[in-house]
Structure 1
């Protein structure tokens, strides 16, 4: 028995991690505690040496403490939270309603477009979903939109922030896989816009086939004269668009690092809040507190995940996973990749995106990296960028899938009592299917992900 346990300790370790996570304990404690516990058990079984624990501190120090890229995380959180409180989003939605009022399902489309724009300025799913629910759900219900379409549109639009740059998830993934943030940012733009476009097409077809569930807006809504219309565009549409250009353009153009761009975006968000006369010391303190707490949470989880992945691989976890795939008859690169995508999707029903990233990617990336994907992927670093963004597109569904989809809980805490959890579950089903369609499309045509980073020179 002891010999079997020594040979399969990494499998037991992964099973223990999964079980303890379901018990509801904090993720950082679970990752770090399981790593320490099974490292100690490995010492007793003579498959892990005590001296190996000394390698963990330099890894944590180098990967997180000394990592300047992760400083971008609180910057982007600050920028997104400040934009939420500045009234920019509310004004933007009103402008988009006017621009799309003649299109079937125009109000739902305006919510999706607004979610796309806000995703490119905030990258915070919780803030986006709550904000969109508060400002978009009442007018959608008042206009006669079905509850399912309304909540599905808002939830899916709010989760675009996890994929479209400047995504906090992409910053952490870049650090985890030793890729540049600029590479992943450029690689994620086309898939993110593609997913938004697929949502818009679905909404348009749905509204055309079932106009009673998505009635058009009244023609009298919005400015009546051309000067009023131009004033609305100048005040409500151009400021967030300019902020996107400043933040992302500075990164893609090589003028600023992600951290510097995040700082510029934070200043820009404060200027917009000042422009809307909503900048005060109370708001600044609340935004700083939110950014600091979230950043502390991210760093703590990174510490625990570094410890877990190091001990798991030291116990032979990579070899066990490879043997498991062979035993399942999964031999080719495409079969392995499909297996990983299905695994990530299923884990999204139960775990947060950060947990999935820090558990799955260090285990499967080394295995997939040595598999030949030619002629689709011609270099290893091209493959890594493709693989990471595929996982990112896949992980967006983790926010929508029950029972632990965080976007669903954010929304349920904000919607009126007339909107039940059943309405929310039924509303998100077609959008989850559309998200997985985007994953399949990006797998079949890798250039959707790789074209832009190659064009701008990140993958030369």
Structure 2
């Protein structure tokens, strides 16, 4: 028994982390505490040297404190929070309602399009879900939309911010996997737009067959002439479009790194808030406080994750996991990939995306990078890029699946009393299934992920 424990100490460490996370203690401290505890256990069994802990300080300093890419995180948080105050989303939703009023479920489609646009400008799920709920849900309920369809549409559209660039998750994943953030941003564009398009198709088909669930907007509503319509479109679409071009355009064109582009985006968000008359010292203080708080949380988690992954590998975790996968008969790349995707989906019921990232990526990314997926997906960099986007698509469901779907709690805190938690749970089911369809398409057709990075010369 003792010999088996010594040989499989890394596996016990992995499942021990999952177990203690249910305690509800901050994940940053749990990661570090589990790493230290099992490091000491390894010292006791003479499979880990106490002096190896000395390697942690230069690792943490090099991976986090000196990491220029991670500087983009507080800037993107600042940008998203400032946009929430600028009323850009309200003007854009009104314009989209008018433009899509002839389409079945036009208001729900408008909310999905708005969520897609805001995802490409904020990259923050919490801000997007709360903003869409406050702006769109009253209008949808007033129009007589079914509660389940209304909340499902808003929650799914709001979570697009975790996948579409400039996603904070992709910034952190790039650092964990060792890929450029620009290549991850480019690879996520088509899968993100695909998921948004699948939402739209579902809403249009459902509203076409059951119009009572999504009553149409009256054709008489909106601008009365072409000139007024043009002014409304320009006033609504130009601000967010300008910000998207500033941030993503500068990255994709090679004019700026993600870190530099995040600063440009933060400045653009301030200018938009000023232009709409929403900029004040109180708002600026609130946004700065929120950005600093999020930044501190992320870096504490990175410190803990660095400690955990270092001890895990020092205990032979990579080799042990590979042996276990082979023992289960999972010896091909595709079998291991399916296993990891199912594992991540199940973990999404209980953990946040950042916890899943920090548990799964250090363990499985080195293994996935060495496996064979055929000639279409060849080379470690290509495999890891494809795998990272599959993880990102899969982890979007973690925001929607009960009991711990964070988007559901963001929404419940802002919906009126007549919308219950059961309405929200029932409403997200078809959209989670759509996310799984998008994931299956990205697995079956890797070029959905790899086409843009290859065209832009971001892959060797």
TM-score between the two structures when normalised by the length of structure 2: 0.99
Residue 79, structure 1, aligned to residue 79, structure 2: yes
Name segments (4+ residues, structure 1) moved above 3 Å: none
1:10-59 per-residue CA deviation (whole Å, 9 max, x = no partner) reads 12212221111001010001000000011011101101011211111111
Distance apart, 1:429 and its partner CA:
0.3
Counting only pairs closer than 5 Å after superposition, residues 57-456 of structure 1 correspond to structure 2 as 57-456=57-456
For residues 421 and 25 of structure 1, the distance between their equivalents in structure 2, rounded to whole angstroms, comes to: 25
Distance apart, 1:9 and its partner CA:
1.3
Counting only pairs closer than 5 Å after superposition, residues 44-55 of structure 1 correspond to structure 2 as 44-55=44-55
Considering only aligned residues, what root-mean-square deviation do their CA atoms show, in Å? Answer: 0.8
Distance apart, 1:400 and its partner CA:
0.2
For residues 198 and 126 of structure 1, the distance between their equivalents in structure 2, rounded to whole angstroms, comes to: 22
Question: Equivalent residue of 2:345, what SS?
Answer: helix
Counting only pairs closer than 5 Å after superposition, residues 31-50 of structure 1 correspond to structure 2 as 31-50=31-50
Distance apart, 1:3 and its partner CA:
2.6
1:58-85 per-residue CA deviation (whole Å, 9 max, x = no partner) reads 1111110000000000111111100100
For residues 243 and 277 of structure 1, the distance between their equivalents in structure 2, rounded to whole angstroms, comes to: 17
Residue 10, structure 1, aligned to residue 19, structure 2: no
1:135-162 per-residue CA deviation (whole Å, 9 max, x = no partner) reads 1001101101100100000000000000
For residues 258 and 331 of structure 1, the distance between their equivalents in structure 2, rounded to whole angstroms, comes to: 37
Question: Equivalent residue of 1:25, what SS?
Answer: coil
For residues 8 and 388 of structure 1, the distance between their equivalents in structure 2, rounded to whole angstroms, comes to: 27
Distance apart, 1:2 and its partner CA:
3.0
For residues 319 and 378 of structure 1, the distance between their equivalents in structure 2, rounded to whole angstroms, comes to: 22
Question: Equivalent residue of 2:123, what SS?
Answer: coil
For residues 266 and 15 of structure 1, the distance between their equivalents in structure 2, rounded to whole angstroms, comes to: 40
1:187-217 per-residue CA deviation (whole Å, 9 max, x = no partner) reads 0000000000000000000000110001111
Distance apart, 1:401 and its partner CA:
0.3
1:236-268 per-residue CA deviation (whole Å, 9 max, x = no partner) reads 111101110110010011100111101111111
Structure 1: runs of 5+ lacking an equivalent: none
Question: Equivalent residue of 1:216, what SS?
Answer: coil
For residues 20 and 63 of structure 1, the distance between their equivalents in structure 2, rounded to whole angstroms, comes to: 25
TM-score between the two structures when normalised by the length of structure 1: 0.99
For residues 206 and 447 of structure 1, the distance between their equivalents in structure 2, rounded to whole angstroms, comes to: 29
For residues 370 and 379 of structure 1, the distance between their equivalents in structure 2, rounded to whole angstroms, comes to: 9
